Amino acid sequence: MQEIINTFGIDLRLLIIQGINFGILLFLLWRFLYKPVLRMLDERQKVIAEGVENAKQVEKEREGIESERAEVLKKATAEGESLMLSARERAKEDELSMTKAAEAKSNQILKDAELRAEELTREAQAENKKEAARLAVLAAEKILRNQNAG
C-alpha cells in the first residue's frame, strides 16, 4: 500500500486533512443549508396543501352558493309569475267593475234624459193646451165681434 501511495505521490497527512475538511464541510452544509432547505420545502408543501384544501372548500362553498342561487332564482320566478297572474286578475276585475260603473252611469244618464224628455213633453203639451185655449178664446171673441158688428 505504501508503494501505491508513493507511486501516485499521495501525501497521507494531506489526505487525512482533506477528509477532515470534507467532513467539516459536509457537517456545515448539513447544518446550515440542507436542514433549512428541507424545513423551507416542508413549509412550502404545507402551504400548498392548505391552498389545495382551501380551494376544495371554496369549490364546495361555490357549489352550495350556486345551488342556493338557483333555488332563490326559482322562487323569485315563481313569485313573479304569481304576481303577474294576480295583477292580470285584478286588472280584469277592475275592468269589469269600471265597465259596470260606466254602464250604470250611462243607464242613469239615459233615464235622466228620458225623464227630462217626458217633462219637456208635458210642458209642451201644457203650453199647447194653453195656446189652444187662448186661440179658442180669441176665435170666440172674433166670432162674437163679427156677430155684434153685423
Q: Say what the pLDDT of residue 149 is.
A: 76
User: What is the end-to-end Cα distance of the chain in Å, rounded?
Assistant: 200
Q: How far apart are CA 30 and CA 39, in angstroms?
A: 12
Instruction: Give the pLDDT mean for 105-124.
Output: 94
Q: Where are the domains of the chain?
A: 2-149
**Burial readout 100-123 (b: 16 or more C-beta within 10 A, e: otherwise):** eeeeeeeeeeeeeeeeeeeeeeee
Helices (H), 9-150: 12-29, 35-149
Model confidence over 15-73: pLDDT tens digits? 899 999 999 999 999 989 889 899 999 999 999 999 999 999 999 999 999 999 999 99
Q: Say what the pLDDT of residue 107 is.
A: 94
Q: Say what the pLDDT of residue 53 is.
A: 94
pTM score: 0.41
Q: Say what the pLDDT of residue 150 is.
A: 63
108 contacts 116 by C-beta, under 8 angstroms: no
Q: How far apart are CA 131 and CA 125, in angstroms?
A: 10
pLDDT higher for 2 or 95? Answer: 95
Q: Say what the pLDDT of residue 14 is.
A: 87
Q: How far apart are CA 91 and CA 5, in angstroms?
A: 115
Instruction: Give the pLDDT mean for 101-130.
Output: 94
Output the average pLDDT for the chain.
92
Model confidence over 73-100: pLDDT tens digits? 999 999 999 999 999 999 999 999 999 9
* Cα pseudo-dihedral 140, 145, 148, 150, rounded to 10: -110
Q: Say what the pLDDT of residue 132 is.
A: 93
